[in-house]
Structure 1
Amino acid sequence: MAKKKLFKTAKDLIKGYGLPEPSQKRGRKAGASDNRKVTLRARELPSGNVQLYLYSSYKGKATRFSVGVLNPEEDEAAKMRNTEIVRTAEAEAGIRNADAIRQGHGLEPKKKRNVLLSDYIEHLINAKTFSKQTNVSLEMLAYHVGEYRTTQIKIAVIDKPWLDGFISYLRHDAISRVTTKKHKQITQNTQARLFEMLDIVLARAVTDGIIEKSPVGELKGTEKPKYNKEAREYLSIEEVEALINTRCTNENVKRAFLFSVFTGLRWSDITSLRWNEMREDDNGKYFAITMKKTKQQIRAYLSEVGASFLPERKGEADALVFDGMPNNTNTNKHLRSWAKDAGITDKWICFHVARHTFATMMLNSEVPLEMVAKMLGHARLTTTEIYAKILNRSIAVATLKQDEIFLNRKK
């Protein structure tokens, strides 16, 4: 595909994008009447950049509203950025113009169309409609929307090209907001999760009457970020032992994580676990719970080593088992510091790694796949089969070590 021409000066930018300067009226012949109430215009700045603004005049009073700045284009990235700014500025002009025309006919403008994406995400978080985990993902979405575009975007302006650009940002430019010495690009699964959250936000915007339909429906399935279902980080037995023998900055986090390693319970279930959910039958002690995510009812039986990580029982019968746990983000910070102290530096550790470790540990101990699925509360066996594939791949890699040993000897 041929590269698009780069506009390297302010004048080239204005001419190349067909932007009218202050003395011009866009799309009209000289002397013709202009029925548009709001127009998009551009002016050259002393810096050599181009400012875009919306111009309107009502009862002799002119109003100007900035909608972005174009920079001279030295590469394709700058070209893409400018194209996006011009496109959204034109969409903004269209919305404001429609509202101005409505006012001219004595009608109220559609106020909901002016809702900013960032404000709406914050509204959804504050409304506490979703779970804590989902709210964490919404906060992450808000962060990356801000990183993708420094200029605020209205929900009504979002269309397929904007989504295409955001997806491209997630795949190539998005950096984890967790502070590390090195910038770490977000994983494929994080990309998929963030886009999934954006889809939920836009669907809710439809319900709330902000937009008539979600632009996500215009995307093909192949264009959307996909989860890598085989990407499962887990710990070896030796690494689990190293963690057991290493001090953590938060003892409660250490106990909760290791308890998850030996029960397979998710963060959401561990942090809401209560003492009065503990039972005992002929097979031993267990927690009878309804899993927060899947609503599956399970019995999480306790091994002796697993039970050893339960904290001392305090308070009322319905008291939380792991009371006083930090939020998910801070928990993961403690985990990564702890793992580093234990010598685990080649894996990205988060709380969910404990669940993956439990699954692979059970399968490695020749526990039947169907039984592991039941222990994890999986509704479909195919979900559990992912862990079996991981083990097969690990076994294959280990087998190939034979070539490294014996073939090298022949040389």
Structure 2
Amino acid sequence: MSVNLRTRTQSKGAIKYFLDINHNGKRYYDFLDIKIFPTDTKQIKADKKNLAELMRSNREIELLTESTSYVPKHLKGVNFFDFANDYIKNYKKKDVRMIQASLNYFKENVNDNNLAILQLTPTMMYGYKDYLTDECGLTGETPHNYFTRFKKILKSAELKGLLINNPTKEIKFRKTVGEGVLKKQILTTDELKTLVKTKCGNEETKKAFLFACYTGLGLAEIKVLTWKNVINGKLVTNREKTKQKVEIKLKEGLLKLIGEKQSKSAHIFKLVNDKNNSLSTNAINKCIKNWVERAKIEKHITFYCARHTFATQLLQYGANLKTVADAMGHTSTKSTIKYLNYIENLKDEAIDNLPDINF
């Protein structure tokens, strides 16, 4: 393995630095954004050369440590949003506004201005993907397009050596499928029972998620839910996305789950960390991921999956499409048909698993 600093003379006498890299039997070049111009003073030329040599050294360390858990010092603490804003500032293509929008949505999702590049994880990216598709009010191809633009920022960080492993590498974000297809994973009745018995790292997150599985509320609605929304054993609220009013009977188990009634303005779920700071969507989804793994359930579950679980449970236990649409706050049964299709597919799979009879 070798990383050598080279120069190439360009038009008008400018000299550009690049890295000549031999690694794992392959040779490739990594061009640095450093140029020496004929008008530069001797000191400026020396400073630019020293900077290029430092970048060469850093790149060599990255390659030497890429298969280890060692993190080079120069990669620690680089703020992701500082890098992303600088990337957008220097981006010259027509889709720059979409990249900016994708970054804005990501910032809303993680709610952490001090996020370092090395803190980006696949779990965080899955959470952001779900946030775009389910909680932003985006439709059609827009979530896919935003996620694709966001990946450009990560790719740039990877090329500059600031990101060792791209957290979106294994994430498949397919374009919009037919409206009658359910795109999320759901939990079965047995899996819900298993989760109830399994310890969760944050008990309030556990309670909120299970409550959502039996009411169909999204995370945005759970966060603002207060005791004024519980009236005579019923949940009365409006869907965040459609503003449709929903009234859902709360079974005895759910009433026991949320505890004794408090003042009308008090929040039912206090989704905060040990420092009493509000939990971000990413933190909640990470907690759910660990909880599901601890329960030995091999599914990718985020908070929004609770809503889909609620709909499919209603259909499995006899509710019709209109009833499910009303409970979900859908304006029509058109958005609900995908859950019925999912149930029908389960029936088909069950029939396929029946033993053959040889006549």
**TM-score in terms of structure 2 length:** 0.58
Change (3 A) 1:306 1:226: same
For the 8 Å contact 1:270–1:322, the answer to whether it is kept is yes
The offset of 1:268, in angstroms, is: 1.4
> Which of 98, 110, 113 is the matching residue for 1:136?
110
Aligned to 2:207: 255
* 1:241-284 deviation line (CA, Å, top 9, x unaligned): 2333344343322221221111111111112101122234xxxx
For the 8 Å contact 2:215–2:310, the answer to whether it is kept is yes
- Matching of residues 113-152 of structure 1 within 5 Å: 113-114=89-90, 134-136=108-110
> Which of 300, 310, 317 is the matching residue for 1:358?
310
- Percent identity between the two aligned chains: 21
* 1:152-209 deviation line (CA, Å, top 9, x unaligned): xxxxxxxxxxxxxxxxxxxxxxx8246xxxxxx969966975742565899xxxxxxx
Aligned to 1:31: none
For the 8 Å contact 2:127–2:285, the answer to whether it is kept is no
CA RMSD of aligned residues (A): 5.0
Structure with the greater relative contact order (CA < 8 A, sep ≥ 6): 1 or 2? 2
* 1:52-77 deviation line (CA, Å, top 9, x unaligned): 34232436555547598899xxxxxx
Aligned to 2:292: 339
Paired residue secondary structure (2:235): strand
Segments of structure 2 that go 5 or more residues without pairing to the other structure are: 61-86, 134-142, 153-172, 274-278
**TM-score in terms of structure 1 length:** 0.52
Aligned to 2:175: 226
1-structure distance, mates of 2:16, 2:211: 60
Is 2:269 aligned against 1:322?
Answer: yes
* 1:227-253 deviation line (CA, Å, top 9, x unaligned): 455222112222222333344343322
Is 2:25 aligned against 1:55?
Answer: no
Is 2:258 aligned against 1:310?
Answer: yes
Counterpart of 1:332 in structure 2: which amino acid? N
2-structure distance, mates of 1:321, 1:249: 19
- Matching of residues 3-402 of structure 1 within 5 Å: 21-22=7-8, 24-26=9-11, 34=12, 40=16, 42=18, 50=29, 52=31, 53-58=34-39, 60=41, 63=45, 64=48, 113-114=89-90, 134-136=108-110, 176-177=122-123, 193=143, 195-197=145-147, 199=149, 225-227=174-176, 230-280=182-232, 285-314=233-262, 316-326=263-273, 327=279, 328-342=281-295, 344-402=296-354
Segments of structure 1 that go 5 or more residues without pairing to the other structure are: 1-8, 15-20, 27-33, 72-110, 148-174, 179-184, 203-223
For the 8 Å contact 2:245–2:329, the answer to whether it is kept is yes
1-structure distance, mates of 2:22, 2:204: 58
For the 8 Å contact 2:195–2:292, the answer to whether it is kept is yes
Aligned to 2:66: none
